[in-house]
């Protein structure tokens, strides 16, 4: 299935400009998005995609290997996020939040059509990861949970993320 729209000029992959915001500013922006969207800890980022008029498609491995993009932003309130059938629901939550990071940070909420790819470790990927971590595990709420609860698996469950994601967030926050 081709997600590209005719007559849309996309910026793709490494040609997408990073925001070059520092990590804390990206996290603050994710917090602003969460506040405006009334998105709270444990909420489903897929529901936020739907409220923004985006779509999520699940693909089998053969389709996944053919289709390069992980998010196709066509225009404002018109984007597609592609997920694999073989990933876990917790992984999908983080992936959707990550792709929302691309939507908000790199397409300027659809003002700039983009296709972000699922491979590589570039600055835009870092920024989308910072956004996702802050959206799903807001700094103050996550720190408070870590101060009260001494079990990372319980904290991860509270925030609806994998134990690995919670560990990375805990280590990043300190």
pTM, to two decimals:
0.94
Local confidence band at 67 (pLDDT 50, 70, 90 cut-offs)? low
Q: How far apart are CA 23 and CA 21, in angstroms?
A: 6
Evaluate whether 58 touches 85 at the Cβ level (below 8 Å). yes
- Please choose, from the candidates 70, 71, 69, the residue with its C-alpha nearest in 3D space to the C-alpha of residue 103: 71
171: which 2 tokens?
A: 């280590």
Q: pLDDT (tens digit, 9 = 90+) per residue, 115-174? A: 998 777 899 999 999 999 999 999 999 999 999 999 999 999 999 999 999 999 999 998
Local confidence band at 87 (pLDDT 50, 70, 90 cut-offs)? confident
In the chain, what are the domain boundaries? Answer: 11-136, 137-174
Q: pLDDT (tens digit, 9 = 90+) per residue, 14-65? A: 999 999 999 999 999 999 999 999 999 999 999 999 999 999 999 876 665 5
- Please choose, from the candidates 62, 116, 52, the residue with its C-alpha nearest in 3D space to the C-alpha of residue 84: 62
Q: Which CATH number fits domain 11-136: 3.30.70, 1.10.10, 3.30.1370, 1.10.8?
A: 1.10.10
């Amino acid at each position: 299935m081709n997600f590209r729209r005719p007559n849309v000029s996309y910026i793709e992959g490494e040609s997408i400009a990073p925001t070059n915001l520092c990590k804390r500013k990206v996290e603050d922006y994710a917090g602003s998005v969460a506040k405006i969207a009334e998105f709270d800890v444990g909420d489903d980022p897929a529901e936020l995609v739907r409220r923004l008029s985006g779509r999520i498609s699940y693909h089998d491995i053969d389709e996944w290997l053919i289709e390069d993009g992980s998010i196709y932003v066509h225009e404002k309130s018109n984007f597609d996020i592609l997920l694999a059938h073989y990933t876990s629901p917790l992984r999908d939550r983080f992936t959707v939040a990550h792709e929302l990071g691309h939507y908000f940070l790199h397409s300027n909420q659809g003002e700039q059509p983009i296709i972000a790819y699922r491979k590589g470790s570039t600055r835009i990927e870092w920024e989308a990861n910072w956004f996702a971590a802050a959206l799903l595990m807001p700094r103050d709420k996550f720190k408070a949970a870590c101060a009260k609860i001494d079990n990372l698996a319980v904290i991860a469950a509270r925030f609806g993320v994998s134990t690995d994601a919670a560990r990375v967030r805990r280590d990043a926050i300190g």
